[in-house]
Structure 1
Amino acid sequence: MKRKSHPLRFVVLVLCVLFLLTLFAGKTFYDAGELGAVFDHPLPGCILHKNITGAEDLTTVDDGRTVLISAVDRHDISEVKVIPGIYIYTEGSSPRLLAAIDGKPHGISAYPSELGYHVHVVVHKPGEDDRVEIYEWKTAEQTFTQVKTIRFAGIQQLNGIVAMADDSFFVSQDFGYPAGPLQEIEKAFRLPLGKIWYYDGTSDKPKIAREDILYPNGLAVSPDKKHLYLASLTGRSLIDYDLNIDDKGEVTLKWRREWPLYTAPDNLKWAGDTLLIGSHRKLISLLLHSFDSKRYHAASQLIQVSGLPDRLIVKELHSTRSGGVEAVSTGVLSTVNNRIVMGGIWSEGVLDCEGTDTFPLSQPASPSTGNEPVPQSTP
């Protein structure tokens, strides 16, 4: 006997599948922040310095008077060739190349030393394992010299870094799989396969300090060295670990809590007793911007976090929908006139803005000069 077809069942099945796909798409857009509104309220007095492209990360030396920038022009945005490397910036002057790097510099962090600072830089180079280069910045001589290289065998996904001493550091690995189909699956399903590595300065190789993390990005250690803070980009959160390093140099990171930020944090930098976090309100827009930064725009946001470790008080300092430096990844406090300097991964220039409303000056500020004023708009 011939079985009768049931077109109604098929229609119901299709509708159920479409409903589930709609829910999945809606949740994805919500989690990515695409449904939220972004208003323009930039910091005042912003000046755009264009002699640099692709500022991946920033750190300060000389007690905050000098900014060092890791930069690489990923999309050939600049009309002139930009050399991958470390750039130096001080208020009132354009960024200039301090040291060229064989590869693509990424995270950067500085630690005070006897003669100045030891500067740690994550470096990617296609076809090779990632490495961390350690340089010595001598304040008196204003020299920048490479002193050590630490290689990560089989790893090509290192991201943020925080220096713990002259030659010890924590560094994040954002994905478990190298670039390719498996990494795309990891991204799509937000699989927590990232890691935090620790290098003690004396061992033959770095060790895994923590794993199974959702897209670990920027890192910061509390001034008392009792907490390690981690930015989870796609988790849109700030993770707090209790940090302990024993007499033998063994490190323990114990999960303490995870603070929701409702924005995607990138790099973390201390400014006094608060954290400055470059963050991304809309992740899908950021993804499109990463493919073609000239065609697709991305919002910029810089937030300030205080109250740690027991409370989380978040204040939005800077927000723009487009223009200036887009997709701000890092903000640091320059103690010269208390300026806040920001950089974006796929943008040309660094943005230097007034920060006295947030970090009041103890003495009168002197006038600031720069290359190109950035138009300001209001909500």
Structure 2
Amino acid sequence: MKKRLLLGFGVLVLVLAGFIAKTLADAGQFKHLAPHFAGRCTPVSGMPGAEDITFHPTLGYAYVSSDDRRATLAGRPVQGGIYRLDPASSAPPVLLTGAFKQAFHPHGLTLFVAPDGAQTLFVVNHPEPGQQQVERFQVGADGMLIHHQSLRDPALVSPNDVVAVDAARFYVTNDHHYPPGAMQVVEEYLQLAIGNVLYFDGKGFREVISGTSYANGINRSADGRTVYLAQVVGRSLSVYSRDADSGSLTHRQTLPLGTGPDNIEVDAKGELWIAAHPKLLDFVAHAKDVSGATRAPAQVLRLKSSGDTFEMEEVFLDDGRQTAGSAVAAVSGKWMLLGPVFDPDMLRCELP
């Protein structure tokens, strides 16, 4: 009997050790990182936690989603904002949501520009603990944002990113199945693929993708026929064909990236720029450290596509000294804007 107990205990220890080793390997903790970037970067202050950034397709300026998450973690939340930044100018960023008086803690954002030039922004907002919604803004004649609508639904459990297909319809990712709490932690560490993607058809939300492994960034091709989805824990990019009439998505392929992808931006050439977390547990430690002293590496991938074939290049890698935990890399011409989840400064980079 004693031998059986010892044998059982030994097997349990081996299983647990194997699980821990797999978790560390999946999180990229055994990777050797060699920081590099062929261009040059300078910090831009005034927009802490610039978690998502997108460029206007023709006018050269970017919209930046900013929220001081360190202040929120410390129990002193401050109002977040959407800013406009021209990387080619020395002018400081301009706050566009000063007139928005509701609690505002923005996350992912998306821009739709109509044929007549009218601009609509959808922004994921976490106004209070346990509250989730998507805000719809129009860009006024003075460039300021005019709030038009707050969209709420029980299906918005843990919204992360959003992509518009027109001025009324969009897709939004739920990075978790469970709201913040113990079950969400279990979901993360057991790597449960139970997140989803919702489609808002102008009237209501419905699920269009299920079984995602931390669905994070989402974007689409310029013609609207293809949707791209980043899955952090799945360390992959999924590609879907989109039915323009129904909004339904059909899976075409999944590309393993070997890293934890965050947001996806698509440049004027149709190339994908993906900010990523090569060591996920380093990012978790960085996120939990209110002081910001614990750093996490930052990575940017560029994917060029030819049909369903993708060529991937690592454009930027930093060990956390320049920037930590980058969530987005938005590119327009020679400029790349790199936004962190927590750091007080974002990076304005000139590509080689």
Segments of structure 1 that go 5 or more residues without pairing to the other structure are: 358-379
Q: 1:309 to 1:152 in 2, by over 3 A?
A: farther
Deviates more, 1:122-131 or 1:259-268: 122-131
Residue 82 (structure 1) shift: 5.6
Counterpart selection for 1:344 from 330, 340, 343: 340
For the pair 1:38 / 2:48, whether they are aligned, the reply is no
Which residue of structure 1 lines up, in the alignment, with residue 209 of structure 2?
210
Counterpart selection for 1:266 from 262, 267, 271: 262
User: Whole-Å Cα distance in 2 between the matches of residues 200 and 20 of structure 1?
Assistant: 46
Q: 1:188 to 1:94 in 2, by over 3 A?
A: same
| Structure 1 segment 168-317 matched on structure 2, within 5 A | 168-201=169-202, 203=203, 205-246=204-245, 250-271=246-267, 272-292=269-289, 294-307=292-305, 309-317=307-315
1:304 aligns to what SS in structure 2? strand
User: Whole-Å Cα distance in 2 between the matches of residues 195 and 81 of structure 1?
Assistant: 28
2:309 aligns to what SS in structure 1? coil
Residue 95 (structure 1) shift: 2.4
User: Whole-Å Cα distance in 2 between the matches of residues 181 and 235 of structure 1?
Assistant: 21
Counterpart selection for 1:334 from 318, 332, 335: 332
| Structure 1 segment 335-374 matched on structure 2, within 5 A | 335=333, 338-355=334-351, 357=352
State the Cα deviation string for residues 223-271 of structure 1 (Å, max 9, x = none): 222211100010000011121132xxx2221122111000111000001
Q: What letter corresponds to residue 183 of structure 1 in structure 2?
A: Q
Q: Is the 8 A contact 1:129 1:154 kept in 2?
A: no
Counterpart selection for 1:47 from 42, 48, 66: 42
User: Whole-Å Cα distance in 2 between the matches of residues 302 and 208 of structure 1?
Assistant: 29
| Structure 1 segment 65-76 matched on structure 2, within 5 A | 65-76=60-71
Q: What letter corresponds to residue 67 of structure 1 in structure 2?
A: A
Q: Is the 8 A contact 2:130 2:179 kept in 1?
A: no
For the pair 1:122 / 2:124, whether they are aligned, the reply is yes
Q: 1:314 to 1:53 in 2, by over 3 A?
A: same
For the pair 1:163 / 2:164, whether they are aligned, the reply is yes
Residue 64 (structure 1) shift: 4.8
User: Whole-Å Cα distance in 2 between the matches of residues 308 and 158 of structure 1?
Assistant: 31
User: Whole-Å Cα distance in 1 between the matches of residues 68 and 228 of structure 2?
Assistant: 28
Segments of structure 2 that go 5 or more residues without pairing to the other structure are: none
User: Whole-Å Cα distance in 2 between the matches of residues 237 and 331 of structure 1?
Assistant: 17
Residue 284 (structure 1) shift: 0.5
State the Cα deviation string for residues 75-129 of structure 1 (Å, max 9, x = none): 139xx99631111211223323221452310101101122441111011122453
Q: Is the 8 A contact 2:121 2:138 kept in 1?
A: yes
Which residue of structure 2 lines up, in the alignment, with residue 61 of structure 1?
56
Deviates more, 1:140-149 or 1:30-39: 140-149
Q: 1:147 to 1:23 in 2, by over 3 A?
A: same
1:312 aligns to what SS in structure 2? strand
Q: Is the 8 A contact 2:133 2:151 kept in 1?
A: yes
User: Whole-Å Cα distance in 2 between the matches of residues 217 and 316 of structure 1?
Assistant: 20
User: Whole-Å Cα distance in 2 between the matches of residues 259 and 24 of structure 1?
Assistant: 24
Q: What percent identity do the matched residue pairs reach?
A: 26
Alignment length (residue pairs): 342
Counterpart selection for 2:139 from 117, 137, 140: 137
Deviates more, 1:206-215 or 1:225-234: 206-215
Q: 1:125 to 1:83 in 2, by over 3 A?
A: closer
Q: Is the 8 A contact 1:61 1:117 kept in 2?
A: no
User: Whole-Å Cα distance in 2 between the matches of residues 200 and 63 of structure 1?
Assistant: 27
